[in-house]
Amino acid sequence: MTIKRTLVANRGEIAVRVIRAAHALGIEAVQVVSAADRDSEAARMADHVVVIGPAPSKQSYLNAGLIVHAAKQTGCDALHPGYGFLSERAELANLCAENGITFVGPAAETIGALGDKLRSRAIAAEAGVPLVPGTDKIASITAAHKAAEKLGYPVLMKASAGGGGRGMFVARNADAITASFDAASTEAQEAFGDGTLYMERYVENARHVEVQAVGDGKGRVVHFGERDCSVQRRYQKVIEEAPCALMPAKLRGELHEAACKLLSSMKYLNAGTVEFLYDVDRQAIYFIEVNTRIQVEHPVSEQVTGFDLVQTQFRIAGGEPALPRQDQVKVGRHAIECRINAEDAAKNFMPSPGRITRWSPPRGAGIRVDSHCHDGYLVPPYYDSMIAKLIVTADDRPSCVERLQRALANFEVEGLTTNIPLLRYIVAQQDFAENRFHTKWLEQSVLPAFQQEHV
């Protein structure tokens, strides 16, 4: 391993995950923390800790110059960005390159090209990857009306510069476009610094599937199977699983081929995820976007393939020939991940920061919990509400669902409110057990009943 010391430019469970992977490879870890995270689990585990600023993210975890300065001052020869924060900002990768620090991720040019959703659609089209019928950028409500008439309602307006549901809305008629266009553009401007919107045809009965892949930067790309991330709320994933049990084998093969073809065309380096919309009625797949980082839900891919993806990221960044042959990646068993959040689902998902007085995650065969929490941990109010990921693995999906139900029943957290009651409710639904849902199922069918019963 050529990397000797890495800076971990993130917090929470992913910082803990990255430190464990680094240590397993003999790499020292330097953890940057805000003032609110001085006593975090990552700070306890790291070999060195640097306080980079006050609690607000803009003054700490989102300050690229400060983070790279910390990496230089502590003698780091690599930097792992985790997910969120600066992980998909080309600026951070550029600063690393300028300062002789290995960025554990794709090249800055790749991040920049794929971070622009319109450019990434053009790249996918050039690579022959199927796209949802859509438009180029749309500058006005009038232009949006004309484009929607041509595509046919319903349509989906999306932000060009980012994802995660920001600047996005479904319009079923012209009035809906008129009502939401300016607000969506403003939201995109505030979130990404670019208010440009574009339009796609809206697929009603859709699954959100994505392919985990890793490239060597020379054109060779290996995939690690697909994930089904269709249980969502406001375009935010709640439950993810691997593989997508609903998808026929032939279409699954086409999905993997399309993802690898796209990344290979860019000589993609390190880990990335190619996201697709799976139109169940038409048995078709359409490209959505590429996430140029490790994903929150990467553990389910690790569980079904047996590969440690974060260690693979370090090995690739360190110049090792770490990619396996494609025929060495076997997808076996089934894995499901639930995101445990400190929020009250019965009160419109109100954040619930505070001190954890009792932390008792489930244990046993086929159960993995990725978290930074412990008895007495103070969940700060400044950051994302996710406090853990529960991942269960079993021989097949029905067995996995049963194991997940038992694991959630045994997951106890006291001192603050979590979304565990909602997760228990979701996995108890017959539709979930029988794999009958789509990307709007949670919002349309489950949440109204849950909130009625729990208010």
Q: Which residues pair with 273 in a beta bridge?
A: 212, 291
Q: Are strands 354-355 and 378-379 parallel, antiparallel or unpaired?
A: antiparallel
Torsion sign across C-alpha atoms 111, 121, 127, 206: positive
Specify whether the CB–CB gap between 396 and 412 falls below 8 A: no
Amino acid (one-letter) located at 46 = A
Q: Which of 166, 293, 339, 397 is catalytic?
A: 293
3-class DSSP string for 352-402: CCEECCEEECCCCCCEEEEECCCCCCEECCCCCCEEEEEEEEECCHHHHHH
Specify whether the CB–CB gap between 106 and 273 falls below 8 A: no
Amino acid (one-letter) located at 237 = K
Tokens 């959703």 locate to 117
Residue 391: CB partners within 8 Å, gap ≥ 6? Answer: 299, 300, 303, 335, 336, 337, 367, 368, 369, 370
Q: What are phi and psi of 160, to 5 degrees?
A: -70, -30
Angle of the 12-24 helix axis to the 309-317 helix axis, nearest 10:
60
Specify whether the CB–CB gap between 342 and 379 falls below 8 A: yes
Q: Which residue, 240, 250, 249, is CA-closest to 212?
A: 240
What are the contacts of 247-251 at 24+ separation with CB within 8 A?
Answer: 247/207, 247/209, 247/278, 248/283, 251/278, 251/283, 251/285
Specify whether the CB–CB gap between 38 and 327 falls below 8 A: no
269: left (phi over 0), alpha (psi -120 to 50) or beta: beta
Q: Which residue, 239, 282, 291, is CA-closest to 404?
A: 239
What single-letter DSSP state applies at residue 292? -
Is 293 one of the catalytic residues?
A: yes
Strands (E), 268-349: 269-279, 284-291, 334-341, 343-344
Tokens found for residue 419: 């979304």
Catalytic residues: 293
